[in-house]
Structure 1
Amino acid sequence: MPLRHLTPHDRWLFRRYGHGPAVPVPDPLIHRAVERHARAAPHAVAAEHRGALLTYGELNRRADALAARLVREGVRPGDHVGLFVRRSLPMLVGLLGVLKAGAAYVPQDIGLAPAAQLAHVVRAAALRIVLTRAEHAPRVPRGPRVIALDEPLPYEPAAGPLPAPSPDDGCYVLFTSGTTGRPNGVKVTHRNVANILLTEPGALGIRPGDRVAQLLNVAFDMAAWEILGCLAHGATLVVRGEDIPAAARTATVLIATPTVLSGIDPAACPRVRAVAVAGEPCPRPLADAWARRAAFHNCCGPTETTIVNTMSRHDPCAPLLTIGRPTPNNTVYVLDADRRPLPIGETGEMWAGGDCVSAGYLGDDALNAERYAPDPFLGGGRRMFRTRDLGRWTPDGQLEHLGRTDDQVKVRGFRVELDSVSAVLERLPGCARAVTLKRDDRSLVSFVSPAGVDPDAARRAVAEALPYYCVPENVMPLPFLPETDRGKIDKQSLLRLARERTAVTR
């Protein structure tokens, strides 16, 4: 019995706090919910962008035409189709068309992702087809067939009904930074996505008439919350241009990282009734400011547990800002190094179970074995995921998030593997050693030795190899990197040096 070492009271609390409510999911295929709204209200506005509108009927018709084209190209359930786009209305047609064809979409922001990253995604996800706009087609790596989303697609229905994926087939594949420095593809299923977006509180009460701002990078899993969370409930998606606050001012629902949200004035958004943040720790003043005006949800969960798997509606009068409790049909366990449950109030590593647990990493059995494990608490062949987040239960059953167990950090809401940045720097000619640290929630700082390394060349090397949010704001060349008495790099000394140099330059 995995709980035998706990007292009877802690066993009871382990189950009470750690298990989200068991609720039915209206539809295990997320795009079917979108289709229902298209049939019920074809003239309702599904999305708007830079003054252009797309109705639900038009979105559904164009996505059907694209799905039929994809099926004729040989796309089948279980396949992956690239969605290499920038924010646009065709982006939505591409996303829905892939799902209708039974495949999983693989999103990349083609305006931001380096060529090396796009090539890696094509290889790792075995992409035979990539959807993009005609202007971006030259940036798509050689190999897959390119279909331009902004060119008219003749409506040629498929020979028969479009293939229906199973709930355990992929909905999307998102690439995160991995332990090797290479982005790792995480396969997220329809069951995973429908469970968070079609139940409360993950549905955020979204309904026809709401306006959901689409603020985030399509390659970030929270963008799926914005896009599919909106369209599955018949609301209007406000796809932003360059001006984030302008999109937020007309919205009723905001989903964002705290960094993005901090650039939006709550007083300028009188229509906003619901806000959800995740991706990085939320400053308490930011949470309080929004919670006084709207239902504010502080959330947590890595990509591997499907957007978020814990949520808390924050009360500005509450003593703590927590990440709440497990979402429906999901579980959270606070375990020790031997994967044994800890008593309530003790700090341990959070493991996630239930319907949020994704299908795993593409082509990386070793990493799957390290991060996914059989769930001894749910049993029945279920799996749990090691989040590497530290947490503890409060006496009243709320989760406190207490940081990470490793050097994977969040910058601007994106996960960054610090060692992968340093590895790129150490490949630079003349660089013998490098270390990268998180300076604040928006920037990294790197240190390289010897002192002759060119800082500008170092930053360019990272920009060419990794996403933009991995590029250090500063690279500081030093004759040598300080060490601790155990022979390790003294990171605290380096952070102090960075602060001192910043103070001098101001």
Structure 2
Amino acid sequence: MTAMSTLHSLPPDDRALFHRFAAGPTETPPFRRIHHAFQAQARTARLRDAPAVEHEGVHLTYGELDARSDRVAATLAAVGVRPGDHVGLFLTRSVHMVVGILGVLKAGAAYVPQDIRITPPRHLDHVLRTAGINVVLTTSEHAGTIQARTTLALDTLPPHPTHQTHPTSTHPTHQTHPTSTHPTHQTHPTHDVTPDDTAVVIFTSGTTGVPNGVRVTHANLCNVLLTQPGSLGIRPGDRVAQLLNIAFDMAAWEILAALSHGATLTIRGRDPQATAATATVLIATPGLLSTIDPTACPHVRVVAVAGERCPQPLADAWSAQATFHNACGPTEVTIVNTVSRYDGHRVTIGRPVPNSTVYILDEHLRPCRIGEIGEMWAGGACVTAGYLNNDVLTAQRYRPDPFLGGDHLMFRTRDLGRWTPDGELEHHGRTDDQVKVRGFRVELDAVTSALETTEHCLKATTVVHDGALVGFVSPATVDPDAARAAVARALPYYCVPSRIVPVDDLPLTDRGKVDRAALRALVTVA
């Protein structure tokens, strides 16, 4: 398949627009390894003593964070971690989490994050095996529960150079005794790592229920986090809230974007509202953001959401006081690959991020006409390095890119979209959100969008239960008859839910997305 053979069916005008809309701007990120961006901030006189990270009364300056992560990198090297290795980061939100991330990156390895408090042991075992992890960073509270060859408790590593450390091992026969955590002749450990090396492995929920590890490279992260709009204009003096599950790819957006641009990362405790109240920048899923009161966050100047569709009432509420970005993109295209600044009129997912492309293709991988709905394929610098130990799935979802050519790949996102006449992308659900109801094909997101036009409705979602559509609207004061009528006005009769359930709040998964499984269970109980 060649670009010419796939484009010839388009009218000439659409051919020109296809090329113009598909490509993001060309930019050169200032760094090619993501931890180098942090180091550049930490080693300036202006920021060395500035706050880098804080959590429940614990604070580290940029200089302290740089030094502590250096010592972790040296410790990792001493226990045998080499460039290209995968190091588990199995802990909970904390300052130690941030020290560990930077220490792994400085050691030339890739970090594999999991929230040990909520991740089932079976899932952790799968991550250990699939990623080939021999060394895990955690805290002493959890060290005894991890079945890895070597387990290092970050809270027991000395904050200052010593001559001997004794990492905790779950298998005493494999106990390792490095000779030094911080060699006196090497202030800043350096290890061979290329931009194409993996920086983080994110495990996503696979369609078969088996999590797949996605290899996100330094070049991928630098491309989206160090250029606009993904950098969000973050600057020294900003306070970026860390609200999300550390195993979620968007947590890397919060953490690494903040530290790459000299801001303070403020890590949430139990109450996300309390953390958001002191922040100037929020990055969240729409589901999580909907639990935060914007009137109690007077300092917030920038908000970005991704991970699921954004209700317009949510965008309206936050854009009244802050610049509001709606973004889209699965983990396999590096957190987000399209970003839109909300204009107050319509919620779109915007345009491709720099050095990246988005194609709207039909089932035969031919370009759709401008305005036609098709499946979104992503190309260019956003495309990650594929799945760990799953060449079959990689070959299915990552295909040669006929439009960029060469050895470029494009990724099948399974998102449905279309171009507007002015080159904005509208999201139209997912291919796996298309269901058959009474013999008709229905897009669940289209039903949800219609529900959210109901008076007083702030958020909604739609599920299928026993072959019928069930709509959930929030808050619980929303009139079910009015919600049903709103769908009937916007969509064909077969799209009208057979039941409307008003609820106070929509339940969320541990990654901050609406939990449709819990809602289906709620219908069953009712």
Which stretch has the larger CA shift, 67-76 or 231-240? 67-76
Tell me, yes or no, if structure 1 residue 101 matches structure 2 residue 107. Answer: yes
Residue 266 (structure 1) shift: 1.2
Tell me, yes or no, if structure 1 residue 29 matches structure 2 residue 57. Answer: no
Is there any run of 5+ residues in structure 2 with no aligned partner, and where? 162-180, 436-465, 475-509
Tell me, yes or no, if structure 1 residue 329 matches structure 2 residue 351. Answer: no
Q: Find the aligned partners of 1:437 and 1:223 in 2 and give their Cα distance.
A: 33
Q: Find the aligned partners of 2:419 and 2:518 in 1 and give their Cα distance.
A: 36
Amino acid at match of 1:151: T
2:8 — aligned with what?
A: 4
Q: Contact 1:113–1:468 (CA<8 Å) still a contact in 2?
A: no
Q: Contact 2:357–2:379 (CA<8 Å) still a contact in 1?
A: yes
Which of 268, 272, 278 matches 2:296?
Answer: 268
Which of 261, 282, 293 matches 1:254?
Answer: 282
Tell me, yes or no, if structure 1 residue 393 matches structure 2 residue 398. Answer: no
Residue-by-residue CA offset, 1:34-88 (whole Å, 9 max, x unaligned): 0111111211100111111111111000100010111122212211000001010
Tell me, yes or no, if structure 1 residue 143 matches structure 2 residue 148. Answer: yes
1:384 — aligned with what?
A: 410
Which of 44, 48, 63 matches 1:57?
Answer: 63
Q: Find the aligned partners of 1:377 and 1:383 in 2 and give their Cα distance.
A: 10
1:492 — aligned with what?
A: none
Residue 436 (structure 1) shift: 13
Q: Find the aligned partners of 1:467 and 1:212 in 2 and give their Cα distance.
A: 18
Residue-by-residue CA offset, 1:262-282 (whole Å, 9 max, x unaligned): 111111111111000000101
Residue 113 (structure 1) shift: 0.1
2:397 — aligned with what?
A: 371
2:505 — aligned with what?
A: none
Q: Find the aligned partners of 1:349 and 1:397 in 2 and give their Cα distance.
A: 16
Q: Contact 1:64–1:100 (CA<8 Å) still a contact in 2?
A: yes
Which of 333, 342, 348 matches 1:314?
Answer: 342
RMSD: 2.4
- Secondary structure of 1:134's partner? coil
Q: Find the aligned partners of 1:127 and 1:110 in 2 and give their Cα distance.
A: 15
Q: Find the aligned partners of 2:353 and 2:229 in 1 and give their Cα distance.
A: 7
Q: Find the aligned partners of 1:108 and 1:438 in 2 and give their Cα distance.
A: 33
Aligned in 2, Cα 1:165/1:440: closer, same or farther, shift over 3 Å?
farther
Tell me, yes or no, if structure 1 residue 18 matches structure 2 residue 22. Answer: yes
Residue correspondence of structure 1 range 223-238 to structure 2 within 5 A: 223-238=251-266
Q: Find the aligned partners of 1:194 and 1:92 in 2 and give their Cα distance.
A: 18
Is there any run of 5+ residues in structure 1 with no aligned partner, and where? 410-433, 443-465, 477-497
Which of 59, 68, 71 matches 2:77?
Answer: 71
Aligned in 2, Cα 1:14/1:227: closer, same or farther, shift over 3 Å?
same
Q: Find the aligned partners of 1:238 and 1:86 in 2 and give their Cα distance.
A: 14
Residue correspondence of structure 1 range 448-459 to structure 2 within 5 A: none
Aligned in 2, Cα 1:438/1:228: closer, same or farther, shift over 3 Å?
farther
Once the two structures are aligned, what percentage of the paired residues are identical?
60
1:128 — aligned with what?
A: 134
Which stretch has the larger CA shift, 153-162 or 264-273? 153-162
Which of 224, 231, 244 matches 1:203?
Answer: 231
Q: Contact 2:285–2:512 (CA<8 Å) still a contact in 1?
A: no
1:91 — aligned with what?
A: 97
Amino acid at match of 2:419: W
Residue 472 (structure 1) shift: 4.2
Q: Find the aligned partners of 2:351 and 2:306 in 1 and give their Cα distance.
A: 14
Amino acid at match of 2:368: L
Count, aligned residues: 432
Residue 203 (structure 1) shift: 0.3
Which stretch has the larger CA shift, 169-178 or 3-12? 3-12
Tell me, yes or no, if structure 1 residue 39 matches structure 2 residue 43. Answer: yes
Provide the TM-score with structure 1 as the length reference: 0.81
Q: Contact 2:326–2:349 (CA<8 Å) still a contact in 1?
A: yes
Residue 179 (structure 1) shift: 2.8
Q: Contact 2:130–2:389 (CA<8 Å) still a contact in 1?
A: yes
Aligned in 2, Cα 1:289/1:12: closer, same or farther, shift over 3 Å?
same
Residue 181 (structure 1) shift: 1.4
Tell me, yes or no, if structure 1 residue 292 matches structure 2 residue 320. Answer: yes
Q: Find the aligned partners of 2:217 and 2:155 in 1 and give their Cα distance.
A: 28
Which of 473, 477, 482 matches 2:518?
Answer: 473
- Secondary structure of 1:163's partner? coil
Tell me, yes or no, if structure 1 residue 342 matches structure 2 residue 387. Answer: no
Q: Contact 2:244–2:511 (CA<8 Å) still a contact in 1?
A: no
Q: Contact 1:176–1:183 (CA<8 Å) still a contact in 2?
A: yes
Aligned in 2, Cα 1:441/1:239: closer, same or farther, shift over 3 Å?
farther
Residue-by-residue CA offset, 1:283-308 (whole Å, 9 max, x unaligned): 10000111121110000000000000
Q: Find the aligned partners of 2:220 and 2:58 in 1 and give their Cα distance.
A: 32
Q: Contact 1:110–1:139 (CA<8 Å) still a contact in 2?
A: no
